[in-house]
Each structure stands twice: as structure tokens, then as C-alpha cells.
Copies of this chain bind each other. A is one copy, B any other.
């Protein structure tokens, strides 16, 4: 026998080949057979056969037919019945099995081998003509659809396929006889139906339904291989990044039947609870049923055992009750499989007339809580090592644990009203409000609200803060709304283009597939920020509290022992800083100072500064901001005692601090004593065609040195006063948007002179502080060696670096990036996960060049990518010292950093 056909027969399967050749399902069937588990015998046609078949226009490797017939004979020997034998026929299933699971993407044909010739023997053998004709009906339905129509490349268009026609005929027959369910059909009625099916197939597809078992078998095998290149399978592979070249294996296996009568059954089980991770056997089953009946949801499944009972099946018997022997055998198999695979397994089984058969085992899918629980338990059970446990939990699973989520059961039964981009994770709900002011008012009154805006701006921050969730019609993953929401760990959906907001009318019109829906302020909205779905129903939430989760602490403790990257947080307030510290942040990597300017009195001073006519007026206005800023910094530095706190000098363009509406302009003119026209003129002058590339960052500090002086003074006075109190304050002052070393020199010299003044004034002799810069412009990365000579540290601003390197405005990409992603032009959103081949080159280059002139240069990253696991992996590889992310992503970053370190070990 060549190595195209791999037998799996209890204790006799060929040496275990991997899923590359056998596919996942085939490899596991072979392994279970090797372990002596009761697997219906069968064989696998390898992925090589698939590739040969596809490369040679449907031809098979030489000798394959003989090998298959030999394998069928071997199965027949074990089962005691033979394929095509009119006296004692063996039926087989033909199933796909790719290296990586592609659920529902490829085809399956059951009951292959049933023909007018083998039917009588089957009836005799089972004594159940109804069962046999029903099996034949199922074969004809599947086969005509999968093999004769799709497999032949016929595309009759949606709702016109043969399957639809046959299903309609089934309904007709049921109707004729006044039946309501399939189960009511008698053997004779089914027999007539099968004959009608055959006639219709001949008529519609122009060829007879095959009566030769081998013809059926090869037809089914070919159809499965062909389905590898089906449209659905191909697009699934593109999304999941599965190479076309892998191909699928095909598994041909002796049929066993769970629907052969009251002592037959079928079921699925998990070796541990996949929703909680607790170490109990958990599953569902149905008596006298086939696997698809469990999955289809037409019958309420029974619980496998007491531990699996839910409120829908408390009264129904368990398998343990009904079939204690089979159940006991399953319990043993559960242990065998966990010992073998050292992970929670998802299994399928059938009991045929009291005899247990294992149809499938695979690593079980689980939610975040379960993944964590299982990993930690398995370490304690001695099944796996710490490092393995760390690798078992996906960062995205950890994310689930950190936010309340919509009850999955409730969500499953609803259709989203609209979909946008998942910008802030978790689930939340509340009454729709359309303005930040109203959100604040209702929020303060104790109402739960969802702020719905076309887009948000810094002036909406107060409303965003009280809202349960934020939904915007415009904007991308790094729009203002998304950034703020992620920073606060708040549920947020952005770019939800189906929403059209009528502010004046207080309504939101949603244009969906089902036409227009009009919502009003006060209507409820439930938002799933992890998927981007928005519901008009009020859905229940499942709460989570990471701080009260000792398993999480244990697990992250293991991560901390392994990782090399330091984890800091992006935090602008003492509260955020404290939260992040509890989540394990070891410092602040980015404290933005601009949000601090939006308080009522502060923004007025800021506006006075902007409107100042003379340097003196400007200094005077800026001076008013000093006490506020100092207080802010003092709070943050105190919370982060003993840890570094990187504070970025003012970054956004000044126009962001000015209002646009006439009333506010009038008010400002009044309060600053300026002419209204002059205020308007100044606002107009501040307007920029491309503010992202405009007068912002250190350009502000250079043209308005008063701002830098004030900010430096606020930071250094705060640190000096804390030092006098005995608090270990470690400020790191960061200059943004540097493109030229002279910009950094300019700002550094201001900071240094302020530092000297402050030390003298407050009487602290050797105040420790660092001065460094953002690396967020390509030019800075290219000239990092030069810039490093003036910088104590670098922090990559990968948001802006991505914008400049790719030429993408993160606020504007929404009009073409989704299209790009869909077409595979970009594989992923470069604002969500670092563009390693492009932007990553600049990160690597700047790191290397920076260290070439300053070996002790501290290097971190404080863009949104600091919380993205794939990006963290890259930053680890490049050799950064730390990543900084929003508080809620700190645990995720700790895990991702640990996984990166483990990946190094190979």
C-alpha cells in the first residue's frame, strides 16, 4: 500500500502521522484507534491525494483505486460486513478533514453504499425498514446535492438547487399524509419518496442516481476534494490565513447509527465545562438520534450527567441514568484523552444498540474564563507546565474576562440592528442620548445611557465619561471615540455607517437590510463592543470582576516571571493610574496632558492663551493653568510612586481647544474681553487643511515656549514637592512630534532651565527626571542615531508613525480601508495591529540606530499597538524595553509579553 491511504483500525492504525497529511480529524481518529478506543474502522485519503486530484483535473494517483478497495476490505473484516455486499452490506461515511478545522466549509456524505441492491439486506439485518429507507432518503438528498450538483460544478442559483426541490417534495409527502414531523413518515411512504427523488434527479440533473456502491464512494470522495476549492472554503481560508496549498484529507469510515432504536443514542461532550472551565465531564445527548439532530437544535438535548444539567433539561434523563455502561466507558475515555492530549477535548460519540463508538475528538473551544481556569487547573493537576499554561490562553480570551459582556445566550437569539467596528470591548446598554450634555445630565441622575454621535471630539468627553457605551456613525478604530473608549475600557462601536442621526429631531434612523428603523432618544440600545454589533433590544449582561479573580492573579504572576518586556499604561488621571497599577502596570508610558485642559476654568485659560495679543498676555493666561496641571501631575506621580511616569507635553493643534458654534464664540469673546470678530478670525487662522501634519506637537512648544515652560514647571514642581514629602516621584518628560534633533534641543533646554529654577526655589538638590522624545515621524526614525544623543528615552508613537508611513489618516481611512481589508490588499488594519513589514522596519531601525549612539537608551511604545498581542510580539523581538497600553489591556499585555518570551525559546 502506498502512503496515500491510511487505515485507522483499533490497535492497528498505521504509525501516527500528523494533521499535515491526515487532516485534524483523520489524525485524531488514527490516534484514538491506536489508543484502543472504540472508533468505527476506516481510512484516510491524505492531503497529498487532494493536491494531486486538484492539480491533475480530478485524476487520482495511480493505484489509489486498488488501495481503497483493499482498505474497504480491511474495514469489512473488522465490522464483519462488506462494502457492496448484497448479503451483508457495509455503509460508510465520507467526510472532509483539513489540517485546521474549517467548520461547515466542506462537504460530507453519509450512508454511502446503500443501493436498491443492498437495501434488502440492511432491512433484514436491522429489522427496521423505516430506518433503512430513511437512511436511503438522507443519502439521496446529500449525494444529489453535494456530488451530482455542486461536485459537478452546477450552480442553479440560490433556492433553485436540487436539495431545495427534494426538501419541498418531503414537505409535500408529509402534507399528503397529514404528518407534522419527518418521524411520522412510514417506511412505505419513505420508499415512495425515495423513488420520486430518483425520478426528479434524473429529470433535473440529467443523469440517474448511482446504484453502484463504488461509484457512490468515488463520487463522494471527489466531491469532498472539489469542495476544498469551493467559494465558501476559499473565502474562509483567506480570512483565517489558511494556505490554499494545504489541501484537505478525506475520511471514509464505517457508518454507525445512533438512530437504530431505543438503545441507540448520539451525543457530544467536553472533557471539562467549556463555559466555566471547571473540571467536570460536560455534554449533551439524544436517544435514538443521529449527530445532526443534536446540532440542529430541533430537539432539546438531554444532559450527559447531573453536572451537565441546565434549566431546559432538568427533568430529562441523563446518559448516566439510561446507559450507565456506555457512560462509564465514556468517563474512562475522557481520562484517557485528557492524559493523551493534555488539554480539554471536544468529543462526538454514538451508541449503536448499546455499543459505544467514538466518532471524533479534538481540542475543545472554550471562552476566556474557561481557558484560564483549565490552564491553571491543569498546572495544578500536573498535566502541563507553567509555560504551557501561559501559551494556552489567548490574549483575546483574557480580554473577555476584563469586561462585562452580553449574555451569549440572549445575544444568540437576536439580530443586530446595525454593525460597526469593535472599538471598545465588552457589552453595555442604556438609553440613547445624542449629546454629551444630555448624557452627563441623565448619567448624573443615575440613568444608564449610550451616547450616539456622528463622531466625537474632546468637547464630548464629559458625556462619554458617564455613558455606558459610545456609538459613532463615523470614524475608524483610532478615531477620537475609539481612543478614549479603549483608554477607559468602555464599550464602544465606531464607524457604524448605517446610523443617520437627526440631532434636532432627537432621532436615529437605521437603514438595514429590513428597511428603515427610527429610534428616539430614550430608546434602549445594547452594544457589543467586542464584535461591533448594536441591538435595539435590552439584553442581559454577564458581569466579570477581574480584581476578585485569584486564578487570574496566579496566572498573570506566572506571566510576569517569564516576560522580558516591561508593561506600562497610558493614563491621564490618578484614578486611571491607580486602576492600571492594580492591573499590574509598572509605570506610565503615556500621560497625555491635553485632556487636562478641558475642565471649565482650564479651557478658558487655554483659550485666553490662544487669543493673547502679546507675549505677556500669553504668559499670564498660561500661568493660570499651572496650579491645575501641577495638581494633576502630583496626583499621578503619587499613585505611581517608585515607578516611572512619562508625561507628554501638549500635542494637539490649538484649534481643538476652540469652539466652533457662534454662541460659544460670543461667550469667549466676552470672557476674554476680545472682539468677537477677532476671536472668529483667530479660529479661522487656526484652521488647517491637514491638522495631522500641521502646527502641533513640539511645534507648539517651540512657537509658544510659554506652554512648555508652564508644563515643565508643573511637572517638576509636583515632583520636587513630592520628593520633600518623601514620595519617590519619577517623571519622564516626553517631547512629541520631533522630526529634527534641534527641536528636541530647543525643548530640552527650556525644561532644563526650568528644572534648575525649580530645584533652587523648592530646595531639592538633585531632582531626578528624564527628557525623551516620541518617535512618531518617519524622519525621527531615520535620524534616531542623531536624536538619541539628546534623548534619555524614545517612545514610539505608532499611531502617528503608521499614519505617516502608510499615508493613512486614521480619521479618514473608513472610506477605503474596509474595502482594502475585504479585498486582502492589507491583511489587517494597521492601526489595530502594527504593520510589521512597513512601519515595523522604522521601529526596528530607530531602535538599532538609537542604541548605536546611546547604549542605555530606554525604548518603549505608547501607541494603541501597545495593547495588541501580535504587535507586542514584534516589540519583544525588536528588543524594546516596555510597551504601554490602556489600563484594561495591561493584563493582556502581560500575557502577550510572556508568550513572546516563550516563543523565543522555541
Q: Which residues does chain B contribute within 8 Å of A811, judged by CB atoms?
A: 688-690
A693 close to B692 (CB less than 8 A): yes
Q: Is the CB of B809 within 8 A of A800?
A: no
Tell me the nearest residue of chain B to A800, going by C-beta: B807
Chain B residues with Cβ under 8 A from A692's Cβ?
689-690, 693, 807, 809
Q: Which residues of B contact A737 (CB under 8 A)?
A: 807
The reply on A328 being an interface residue by CB < 8 A is no
Select the stretch in A61-69, A111-119, A838-846 that faces chain B.
A838-846
Q: Are A689 and B806 in contact (CB under 8 A)?
A: no
Give 1 or 0 for each of A716-757: 1 = CB within 8 Å of chain B CB: 000000000000000000000101101100100000000000
CA distance A777 to B692 in the complex (A): 16
Q: Which residues of B contact A742 (CB under 8 A)?
A: 824-826
| Pairwise interchain contact B778-A809, C-beta atoms closer than 8 A | no
The answer to whether A815 has its CB under 8 Å from any CB of chain B is: yes
**Once the chains bind, are B839 and A694 in contact (CB under 8 Å)?**
no
Q: A804-B807, A809-B690 are in contact. Are A816 and B702 (CB under 8 A)?
A: yes
Contact across chains for B803 and A695 when beta carbons are under 8 A apart: no
> Hey, which chain B residues are within 8 Å of A803, CB to CB?
693
Mark A800-824 against chain B: 1 for CB-CB distance below 8 A, else 0: 1001111111011101100110011
Instruction: Indicate which residue in B702, B776, B805, B819 contacts A778 across the interface (CB closer than 8 Å).
Output: B805
Task: Give every chain B residue within 8 A of A688 (Cβ-Cβ).
Answer: 809, 811-812, 815
Closest to A681 in B: B500
Nearest Cβ distance between residue A684 and chain B, in whole angstroms?
A: 10
Q: Could you list 20 A-B pairs, sorted by A, with CB under 8 Å?
A: A685-B815, A688-B811, A689-B691, A689-B809, A689-B812, A693-B808, A693-B809, A693-B812, A695-B815, A702-B819, A703-B816, A737-B807, A739-B808, A740-B825, A742-B826, A776-B807, A777-B806, A778-B778, A779-B807, A800-B807
Tell which of A779, A809, A838 has the most Cβ of chain B within 10 Å. Answer: A779
**Contact string against B for A residues 770-794, beta-carbon threshold 8 Å, 1 for contact and 0 otherwise:** 0000001111001100000000000
- Answer yes or no: A699 CB below 8 A from chain B CBs: yes
Q: Is A2 in contact with chain B by the CB < 8 A criterion?
A: no
B739 touches A838 (CB 8 A): yes
A695 partner residues in chain B, CB cutoff 8 A: 812, 815-816
User: What chain B residues lie within 8 Å of A826 (beta carbons)?
Assistant: 740, 742
Partner of A690 from B693, B740, B806 at Cβ < 8 Å: B693
The reply to whether B739 and A694 contact each other, CB–CB distance below 8 Å, is: no
Quick check: A779 and B800 within 8 Å, CB to CB? no
Question: Chain A, interface size: which category?
Answer: 35 or more
Tell me whether A180 is interfacial, beta carbon within 8 Å. Answer: no
Which residues of chain B are within 8 angstroms of A825 by Cβ–Cβ distance? 702, 740, 742-743, 746
A608 contacts chain B at the CB level, 8 A cutoff:
no
Task: Please name all residues of chain B whose beta carbon is closer than 8 Å to the beta carbon of A685 when the two chains form the complex.
Answer: 815
The residues in A between 662 and 691 inclusive whose CB is less than 8 angstroms from any CB of B are: 685, 688-691
In the A-B complex, the 8 residue pairs with the smallest Cβ-Cβ separation, listed nearest first, are A693-B809, A690-B809, A779-B838, A694-B812, A778-B778, A777-B807, A689-B811, A688-B812
The interface residues of chain B lying within 8 Å CB-to-CB of A743 are 825
A181 close to chain B: CB less than 8 A: no
Who on chain B is nearest to A693 by CB? B809
Q: Does A835 contact B (CB under 8 A)?
A: yes
What separation, in Å, do the CA atoms of A737 and B779 have in the docked complex?
A: 19
Residue of B nearest to A500 (CB): B681
Chain A 700-713 interface 0/1 with B at a Cβ cutoff of 8 Å (1 = within): 00110000000000
Q: Which one of B690, B702, B816 contacts A812 once the chains associate, using CB atoms below 8 Å?
A: B690
**Known pairs A690-B693, A779-B805, A782-B805 / 17 extra A-B pairs, C-beta < 8 Å:** A688-B812, A689-B691, A689-B811, A690-B692, A690-B811, A693-B693, A693-B807, A694-B809, A699-B816, A737-B807, A739-B808, A742-B824, A746-B825, A777-B806, A778-B778, A800-B807, A804-B804
What's the Cα separation between A809 and B835 when bound, in Å?
23
Whether A837 is near chain B, meaning CB under 8 Å from some CB there, is: yes
A495 CB to nearest chain B CB (Å)? 13
A249 to chain B, nearest CB (A): 31
Please name the residue on chain B nearest to A837 by beta carbon: B783
Closest B-chain residue to A692, C-beta based? Answer: B690
Across the two chains, which residue of chain B brings its CB closest to A700? Answer: B816
Asked if residues A806 and B839 are in contact (CB atoms below 8 Å), the reply is: no
Q: Which residues of B contact A779 (CB under 8 A)?
A: 805-807, 835, 838-839
| Chain B residues with CB below 8 A from A808, complex form | 693, 739
Q: Least Cβ distance of A167 to chain B in Å?
A: 35
Could you tell me the distance between the alpha carbons of A825 and B776 in the complex, rounded to whole angstroms?
18
- Shortest A777–chain B CB gap in Å is 4
Q: Which residues of B contact A693 (CB under 8 A)?
A: 690, 692-693, 803, 807-809, 812
Report the separation of the CA atoms of residues A811 and B694 in the bound assembly, to the nearest whole angstrom.
9
Question: Which residues in window 822-862 of A have CB below 8 A to B?
Answer: 823-826, 835, 837-839, 841-842
In the assembled complex, the Cα of A127 lies from the Cα of B101 at a distance in Å of: 118
Query: Which residues of chain B are near A702, meaning CB under 8 Å?
Result: 816, 819-820, 823, 825
What distance in Å separates the Cβ of A850 from its nearest Cβ neighbour in chain B?
Answer: 15
Please indicate the chain B residues that have their CB under 8 angstroms from the CB of A838 in the complex.
739-740, 778-779, 782-783
A815 to B686, CA, bound (A): 9
CA distance A800 to B804 in the complex (A): 10
How many whole Å from A748's CB to the nearest CB in chain B? 13
Q: How far is the CB of A878 from chain B (nearest CB, A)?
A: 15
Cα–Cα distance between A812 and B700 once the two chains are bound (Å): 13
The distance from the CB of A853 to the nearest CB of chain B, in whole angstroms, is: 15
Closest residue of B by beta carbon distance from A777: B807
Question: How far, in angstroms, from A810 to B733 measured CA to CA in the complex?
Answer: 29
CB closest chain-B residue, reference A697:
B807
* Chain B: CB-nearest residue to A685: B815
Once bound together, how far apart are the Cα atoms of A695 and B817, in whole Å? Answer: 9
Residues of B within 8 A of A746 (CB): 823, 825
CB contacts (< 8 Å) of A783 on chain B: these are 837-838
- In the complex, what residues of B have CB within 8 A of residue A841's CB? 782
* Contact B778–A842 (Cβ < 8 Å): yes
Q: Which residue of B lies closest to A474 (CB)?
A: B685
Partner of A691, one of B778, B812, B813: B812
Using known A-B contacts A746-B825, A783-B838, determine if residue A739 contacts B778 with beta carbons closer than 8 Å. no
CB distance from A826 to the nearest CB of B (A): 6
Distance, CA A841 to CA B846, complexed state (A): 13
In the complex, A825 Cα to B825 Cα: how many Å? 39
- Assembly CA distance A146 to B568 (angstroms): 62
- Residue from B690, B776, B824, B842 within 8 A of A782 (CB atoms): B842
CA–CA, A456 to B674, complex, Å?
30
Specify which of A689, A692, A800, A807 lies most central, judged by the most chain B CB atoms within 10 Å of its CB: A807
Provide the residues of chain B in CB contact with A819, threshold 8 Å. 702-703
State in angstroms the CA–CA spacing of A688 and B811 once bound together: 8
Cα distance A811–B702 in the bound complex, in angstroms: 19
Which B residues touch A837, using CB under 8 A?
A: 783
- For the complex, give the distance between the alpha carbons of A838 and B779 in Å: 5
Interface residues of A in 397-445 (CB under 8 A from B): none
> Please, which residue of chain B has its CB at the minimum distance from the CB of A688?
B812
CA gap between A2 and B693 in the complex, in Å = 58
In the bound complex, residues from chain B placing their C-beta under 8 Å from that of A690 are 690-693, 809, 811-812
Closest to A654 in B: B815
Measured between C-beta atoms, what is the minimum distance from A842 to chain B in Å?
Answer: 7
* A703 proximity list for chain B (CB < 8 A): 815-816, 819
Q: Known contacts being A737-B807, A777-B805, A807-B777, is A815 close to B782, with CB within 8 Å?
A: no
